[in-house]
Amino acid sequence: MEGMADRYIEVSLVKRDVTCRARLLDDRAPITCAAVWDSLPLAGDVYHAKYARNEIYALFPPFAATEPPLENPTVTPIPGDLCYFTFAGAELGTKSYGYDREVRAGTTLVDLALFYERNNLLLNGDVGWVPGIVWGQVVEGLDAMAEACNDLWRSGAAGETLSFRRA
């Protein structure tokens, strides 16, 4: 990726009309960045994390030819981190996670997440550590996005869309 100009995306909560700008970490997660970039725009129902604390995310069908390796992994994302996770339907298809209507065993899902505040820990009581790939970092608009994410946590996510698009 040497010589490549920085690439940026916009991450939005559509109904709340809030957008932040993030830089792709092509130098640290080139395969993941390429997979996401080549698939944009992406948008889906937003969820607020139960276990990881200050995280919003959307679930998508796999969009890469093959799933990226665990490049630039973390279990302690910081504010502004964009993370990529891959889950098998068997991992999410349980009523305790609340996806029982959307997720079926044998289905693979990609989780694109934005972490908006400190003190996140990717530790799930049912399965243990859940490392994610850090593929982007918010460089503009994190404060407004964090405020909107807190509102989402308090007011609910129903009807809200998380959108990722090229800037």
Please count the residues of the chain.
167
Q: What is the pLDDT of residue 26?
A: 98
Q: What is the pLDDT of residues 108-133, one digit of tens each?
A: 899 999 999 999 999 887 788 999 99
Classify residue 152: in a domain, yes or no. yes
Q: What is the pLDDT of residue 83?
A: 99
More confident residue, 78 or 103: 78
Residue 11, both tokens: 């991450």
Q: What is the pLDDT of residues 38-68, one digit of tens each?
A: 999 999 999 999 878 999 999 999 999 999 9
Q: What is the pLDDT of residue 101?
A: 52
Classify residue 58: in a domain, yes or no. yes
Total count of domains within the chain: 1
- CA 133-137-140 angle, to 5 degrees, is 160
Classify residue 92: in a domain, yes or no. yes
Radius of gyration of the chain (CA): 15
Read off the pLDDT band of 95 (50, 70, 90).
low
Q: What is the pLDDT of residue 50?
A: 82
Q: Among all chains, which residue has been given the structure tokens 């276990």? A: 51
Q: What is the pTM of this model?
A: 0.90
Classify residue 48: in a domain, yes or no. yes
150 class by beta-carbon count within 10 Å (0-12 exposed, 13-18 middle, 19+ buried): middle
Classify residue 132: in a domain, yes or no. yes
Classify residue 3: in a domain, yes or no. no
Classify residue 133: in a domain, yes or no. yes
Residue 107 has pLDDT above 90, yes or no: no
Q: What is the pLDDT of residue 104?
A: 57
Classify residue 79: in a domain, yes or no. yes
Show the domain range for 101.
Answer: 8-166
